[in-house]
């Protein structure tokens, strides 16, 4: 938890420095995150905790989570801006069945675990906007580095798999990927309401040959304060 706190604090401080520029925006927001199958990559990490080649696991299905974001934007031209943000995303616990095929020659053991996943993506990229006064569509692309944390709790099943060192153990491998975003800014003077969506390919650049994609969708809104464009005279794009 200390690592998570330090990460968010450092990212927020960086965004605050960006926001100190003459033409810049900083704000906060939130929304929903929709995970695809395998987003939690939970089974592989759990079997690694057992350190046994005989472990097999079922899929963790897609689920809905929530997120909070702190973001900054630094305009460098009328339609171009550098963007950065830090997010905290939590996916509610899902149940996963895990099977050990090597308890003895004649039988297997099976147990159900609850898997909780939280992500802290740090993103940096660019955003292109259509020139407009109030309703301003945009699209963007970012590089992302994601801190991944998972917890496991035994629910029911074979005692052979009820390992006290696994219950509430933390696991996860940080990932490097990209994110694609699109949305609409509503410019109201020095306040901008940003409504948009972002598709995250969290492990695109670190994905192993036998590893499945770690992807999820964010949909939400944010309120940003400050000049939206270098051409702003305090009242939106010209």
Residue 236 in any domain: the answer is no
State the alpha helices, DSSP H only, in the chain: 2-19, 42-50
Give the structural domain span for 149: 2-226
Residue 235 in any domain: the answer is no
Residue 236, pLDDT score = 41
Residue 233 in any domain: the answer is no
**Distance (Å, whole) CA 106 – CA 174:** 38
Give the C-alpha distances (Å, rounded to integers) separating 57 from 42, 90, 139, 151: 9, 22, 38, 16
Residue 55, pLDDT score = 44
Nearest Cα residue to 132 out of 6, 238, 16, 23: 238
Residue 232 in any domain: the answer is no
Q: Kindly give the pairing relationship between strand 107-129 and strand 170-171.
A: unpaired
Residue 237 in any domain: the answer is no
Instruction: Quote the pTM value.
Output: 0.73
pLDDT in 10s for each residue of the chain, 238 residues: 455 555 555 555 555 555 455 568 999 999 999 876 554 454 445 555 554 444 444 555 557 889 999 999 998 888 899 999 999 998 877 666 666 544 455 556 677 777 777 889 999 999 999 988 889 999 999 999 998 887 777 777 777 667 656 665 566 678 899 999 999 999 998 899 999 999 999 888 988 776 777 888 899 999 999 877 666 544 444 3
Neighbours of 51 (CB within 10 A): 7
Whichever domain contains 152, its CATH number is 2.40.160.20
Question: Quick check: helix, strand or coil at residue 161?
Answer: helix
Burial of 143 (0-12, 13-18, 19+ CB in 10 A): middle
Domain count along the chain: 1
Residue 113, pLDDT score = 72
**Distance (Å, whole) CA 214 – CA 44:** 13
Residue 164 in any domain: the answer is yes
Residue 40, pLDDT score = 47
Residue 91 in any domain: the answer is yes
Residue 34 in any domain: the answer is yes
């Amino acid at each position: 938890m200390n690592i998570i706190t330090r990460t968010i604090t450092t990212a927020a401080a960086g965004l605050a420095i960006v926001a100190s520029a003459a033409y810049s925006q900083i704000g906060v927001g939130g929304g929903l995150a929709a995970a695809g199958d395998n987003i939690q990559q939970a089974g592989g990490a759990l079997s690694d905790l057992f350190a046994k080649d005989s472990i097999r696991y079922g899929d963790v299905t897609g689920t809905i989570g929530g997120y909070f974001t702190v973001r900054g934007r630094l305009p460098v031209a009328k339609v171009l801006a550098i963007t950065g943000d830090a997010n905290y995303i939590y996916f509610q616990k899902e149940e996963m069945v895990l099977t050990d095929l090597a308890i003895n020659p004649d039988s297997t053991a099976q147990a159900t675990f609850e898997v909780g996943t939280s992500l802290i993506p740090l993103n940096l990229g660019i955003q292109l906007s259509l020139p407009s006064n109030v309703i301003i569509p945009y699209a963007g692309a970012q590089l992302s580095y994601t801190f991944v944390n998972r917890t496991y709790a035994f629910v029911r099943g074979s005692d052979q798999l009820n390992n006290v060192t696994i219950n509430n153990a933390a696991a996860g491998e940080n990932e490097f990927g990209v994110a694609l975003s699109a949305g609409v800014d509503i410019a109201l003077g020095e306040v901008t309401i940003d409504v948009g969506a972002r598709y995250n390919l969290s492990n695109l650049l670190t994905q192993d040959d036998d590893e499945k994609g770690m992807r999820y969708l964010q949909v939400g809104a944010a309120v940003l304060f400050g000049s939206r464009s270098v051409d702003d005279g305090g009242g939106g794009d010209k």
